[in-house]
Amino acid sequence: MADVALEAGVSGQTVSRVSNGRSNVDESTRERVLEAMNRLGYRPNSAARALRLGRFRSIGVIMFTLSSFGNMRTLDAIASAAAAAGYSITLIPIAHPTRGAVSGAFDRLNQQAVDGVVIVIEAHLFDEAHLDLPDGLPVVVIDSSARTRYPVVDTDQAEGARLATEHLLELGHQTVWHIAGPAESYSAIRRRDSWEATLRQHGAVVPPVLAGDWSTDAGYRHGLVLAADPTVTAIFAANDQMALGALRALHEAGRAVPAEISVVGFDDMEESASFWPPLTTVRQYFDKVGARSVAALLEGIEGDGPVANVTVPTRLIVRASSGPAPAG
């Protein structure tokens, strides 16, 4: 900065004013300074600026696997929203979801230069009592328990599961089998609970829950079992990947979809419309979740009032994998 000031024949303060777009600088001076900046390739030092201002203009995002469809879309939306607000994203991945790793990540976070944090951890794995985020650091949680002391932004899991289950019941199926997500996942639990509640509400028998782990393999394994059971006519998988695995199992077993068995997923991945048959599923608006969480966080950072929770609705996308229950 001093070099620029020298080059332009002004003081450092004037350079600072120009670089921050302040109005009280003479036009000719401003141009001289800008030219000097270009000539010298001046870049404001963000560390010094952050030190001075006490703000980093950066948002931390804590995530487990990036490799899940939903997390990725959410991250994308968070990044876009943050960029639009002039914030950058600092990614804090947690490779192995052990409690120790989570604590470690939070410790590292304390050292990070962030003004706020979005936590995208769906599991019970972090015990809030044990993680001490710096006081006053705004936090927003995505896809977790509502029992946290931080604001929560989340998809309406219960509504989505209800839509899927009712869709199948309305097609005339006696009941709906459920391939669930892992027991540690809040969203998996909420989908399962809502599936069960919807069945009861409609007076349908509640079959045993099939525990999965979001993977195609889990869907495949349970799909093989279900395919062998002639009484099964409708399956609701807790995500599209498990639905895909189930579809494969049904194909291998020679069961027709949807003529003999209907399958419904959850997520609406880009590929789901091209599965064979194209998958009926519950669409989640991850982009909206991401955008809303950033908005909430920014309110926490720049605003003053308390931040409200946000629930994002879902939508049932009906495709060829679900159809009327077979006669008889």
Query: 27-56 mask for a second copy (x: CB under 8 A)?
Result: --------------x-xxxxxx-xx----x
Among 38, 40, 48, 173, binds DNA (CB under 7 A): 48
**Which of DNA, a second copy, none does residue 187 bind to, with CB < 5 to 8 Å depending on kind?**
none
Cα–Cα distance measured from residue 313 to residue 320, given in angstroms and rounded to the nearest whole number: 23
Tell me how far, at minimum, the Cβ of 154 lies from DNA, in Å. 35
- Per CB under 7 A, the segment of 38-46, 117-125, 158-166, 277-285 that binds DNA is 38-46
- Exposure string (b/e) for 300-323, b if CB count within 10 Å is 16 or more? bbeeeeebeebebebebbebebbb
Query: 268-307 mask for a second copy (x: CB under 8 A)?
Result: --xx-xxxx-x-----------------------------
**Which of a second copy, DNA, none does residue 10 bind to, with CB < 5 to 8 Å depending on kind?**
DNA
Among 16, 103, 148, 215, binds a second copy (CB under 8 A): 215
- 9 touches DNA by CB under 7 A: yes
Range 10-29, binding DNA (CB under 7 A):
10-14, 16-17, 19-20, 23-26, 28-29
Range 89-148, binding a second copy (CB under 8 A):
89-93, 95, 108, 110-113, 132, 134-135
Give me the residues paired with residue 88 across strands: 58
Residues binding DNA (CB under 7 A)? 1-2, 9-14, 16-17, 19-20, 23-26, 28-30, 43-45, 48-49, 51-54
